[in-house]
């Protein structure tokens, strides 16, 4: 059986990543592949309950980081690992890079602590492809303001998002083999055209 791949979507709030998840999933499904779409924090009943707490309650920074990884542990056990074991493709709206970017970059938690949690929770698994939707802060903020009531993270100030974005870009440079930086200031059709090319290259001609 062909083995499925694990694709993650990342970026600061308002970059536009959620807009494109359905497009990429449909692209893969149209080629006969089984695709599971999911999100973090969340993806399981417990994970969604933790998401409610994480997005709306104030807490110690280390509690926040550990709850992100607790939700992830459940998500891996219940959704991601079984799907990959079946040969399905998995698309997750955020994964561990988000913890490095938000809790590490944005909130300045030492990265070594996050690396320790990562080693604990998924020592042997990394995404096959991480699509980093990158936009300047002002663009992201404008897109967010236009659409919704802001949660705990979305209410953070510009310097928080500058540090979050910088950590995402630092990780993209650190792991160039799995990251693709998407210039998300472009129009949705332009971005979709690039996504289609990236997915075609990932999938290979024979699939
Ligand atoms: N390339 C784009 N150009 C203009 N608006 C966009 C673009 N991509 C997304 N949007 C809009 O920006 C808002 C935030 O997009 P969303 O995908 O929810 O962001 P994210 O998931 O990264 O927080 C939505 O209203 C969406 O329609
Ligand atoms: C997965 C993850 C998300 N987050 C934050 C980023 C987002 O602000 C928030 C929820 O992510 P997201 O689902 O992208 O929000 P929305 O549905 O509003 O677009 O959680 C972290 O701070 N650390 C993490 O590890």
Q: Is there a binding annotation on residue 13? A: yes
What is this structure's pTM? 0.96
Distance (Å, rounded) from C-alpha 44 to C-alpha 59?
Answer: 22
| Residue having the nearest C-alpha atom to atom 17 of ligand 2 | 18
Is residue 91 one of the residues assigned to a domain? Answer: yes
Check if 64 has its Cβ closer than 6 Å to any atom of ligand 2. no
pLDDT of residue 205 exceeding 60, the answer is no
pLDDT of residue 70 exceeding 70, the answer is yes
Is residue 33 one of the residues assigned to a domain? Answer: yes
Query: Among the atoms of ligand 1, which is closest to the Cα of residue 12?
Result: 22
As a whole-number percent, the residues of the chain with pLDDT over 90 amount to: 90
pLDDT at position 203: 66
Q: What is the span of the domain harbouring residue 138?
A: 6-202
Is residue 1 one of the residues assigned to a domain? Answer: no
pLDDT at position 43: 98
* ipTM for the assembly: 0.97
The 3-class SS string of 91-140 reads: EEECCHHHHHHHHHHHCCCCHHHHHHHHHHHCCCCCCCEEEEEECCHHHH
Q: Is there a binding annotation on residue 15? A: yes
Q: How many structural domains compose the chain?
A: 1
Is residue 120 one of the residues assigned to a domain? Answer: yes
Is residue 191 one of the residues assigned to a domain? Answer: yes
| Residue having the nearest C-alpha atom to atom 8 of ligand 1 | 16
Contact 91, 24 (CB under 8 A): yes
- Mind listing the pLDDT tens digit for each residue in 128-155? 999 999 999 999 999 988 877 889 998 8
The 3-class SS string of 50-103 reads: HHHHHHHCCCCHHHHHHHHHHHHHHHHHHHHHHHHHHCCEEEEECCHHHHHHHH
pLDDT of residue 202 exceeding 90, the answer is no
As a whole-number percent, the residues of the chain with pLDDT over 70 amount to: 97
Is residue 106 one of the residues assigned to a domain? Answer: yes
- Higher pLDDT pick, 145 / 166: 166
Q: Is there a binding annotation on residue 101? A: no
pLDDT at position 204: 57
- Mind listing the pLDDT tens digit for each residue in 16-46? 999 999 999 999 999 999 999 999 999 999 9
Check if 156 has its Cβ closer than 6 Å to any atom of ligand 2. no
Is residue 207 one of the residues assigned to a domain? Answer: no
Q: What is the CATH number of the domain that holds 76?
A: 3.40.50.300
- Give the Å distance between the CA of 40 and the centre of ligand 2: 7
- Give the Å distance between the CA of 133 and the centre of ligand 1: 10
Q: Is there a binding annotation on residue 14? A: yes
Pocket lining for ligand 1, CB < 6 angstroms: 11, 13-19, 133, 143, 147, 184, 187-188, 191
Least confident of 26-40, 112-126, 190-204: 190-204
């Amino acid at each position: 059986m062909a083995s499925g791949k694990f694709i993650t979507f990342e970026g600061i709030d308002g970059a536009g990543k959620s807009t494109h998840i359905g497009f990429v999933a449909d692209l893969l499904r149209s080629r006969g592949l089984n695709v599971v779409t999911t999100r973090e924090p969340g993806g399981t009943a417990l994970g969604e309950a933790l998401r409610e707490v994480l997005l709306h309650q104030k807490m110690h920074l280390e509690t926040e980081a550990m709850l992100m990884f607790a939700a992830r542990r459940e998500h891996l056990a219940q959704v991601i690992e079984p799907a990959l074991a079946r040969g399905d493709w998995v698309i997750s709206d955020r994964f561990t890079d988000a913890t490095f970017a938000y809790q590490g970059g944005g909130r300045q938690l030492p990265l070594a602590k996050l690396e320790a949690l990562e080693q604990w929770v998924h020592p042997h698994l990394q995404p096959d492809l991480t699509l980093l939707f990158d936009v300047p802060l002002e663009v992201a903020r404008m897109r967010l303001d236009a659409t919704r009531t802001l949660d705990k993270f979305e209410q953070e100030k510009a310097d928080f998002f500058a540090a979050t974005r910088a950590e995402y870009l630092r990780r993209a440079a650190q792991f160039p083999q799995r990251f693709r930086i998407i210039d998300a200031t472009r129009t949705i059709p332009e971005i979709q055209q690039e996504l289609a090319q990236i997915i075609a290259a990932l999938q290979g001609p024979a699939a």
